[in-house]
Amino acid sequence: MTELGNGAENVRDTDVNAADGLVDVAVRLPAMRVAYNGGSLDESDLAPTWTEQLQRWLDEALAHGLPEPNAMVLATADADGLPSSRTVLCKGLDARGIVFYTNYTSAKSHDLTVTRYASATFPWYPLHRQVHVRGEVEKVGPAETAEYWATRPRGSQLGAWASPQSQVVDGRRDLDTALRAIERRFHDVERIPVPPHWGGWRIRPEVVEFWQGRQDRLHDRLRFVRTEDGWRVRRVAP
């Protein structure tokens, strides 16, 4: 990644179309630039493990009041190699990897079932930081999924039952109708069960890169790389 963020120095041009009187505002994309003065990242700054370092940066993002610091951009590819990306929420972090939950019939799950590989990026723009995670994936076990499911708000549980994720629907009314049907189905059920089509995916990292923005675009990029002899840290040129 070369540049992050959006600054006050952004330049906008306003052009008036004389024919129809409409005003078109064009953003000068080449002029959009932010100076990264947030700090540095040296090998001596890293925690002993990638999990500890990621947790440290997550805690700092939370302490700075960043919205949804556990949000990450998940990238997958289908059987033809066509990529897709979307934002999901990280709901698990330990030495095994990072976990998110979704519908197993969704487009992302179809991709992961075929390729068994994914990458994810935590973008913390205000801190001029990001973390990249890449590796093989596996489904989270039923017990671990059920434990997380129990922490979800009831509305989110009902939504998981109601939504045919990634499928084409005729309109919002279809979703609202499906939700009302699920509400009736579980209206007298205290503990809603986990849908059979819903659960977690774990990315088991092969590479975890910590990126800190620096002046003059000479950013710090430190990678934890899994090898046969264990994890190694390597610096990568920006």
| Residues with catalytic function | 217
User: How would you write the chain as a 3-class SS string?
Assistant: CCCCCCCCCCCEEEEECCCCCCEEEEECHHHCCCCCCCCCCCHHHCCCCHHHHHHHHHHHHHHCCCCCCCEEEEEEECCCCCEEEEEEECCEEECCEEEEEEECCCHHHHHHHHHCEEEEEEEEHHHCEEEEEEEEEEECCHHHHHHHHCCCCHHHHHHHHHCCCCCCCCCHHHHHHHHHHHHHHCCCCCCCCCCCCEEEEEEEEEEEEEEECCHHHCCEEEEEEEECCEEEEEECCC
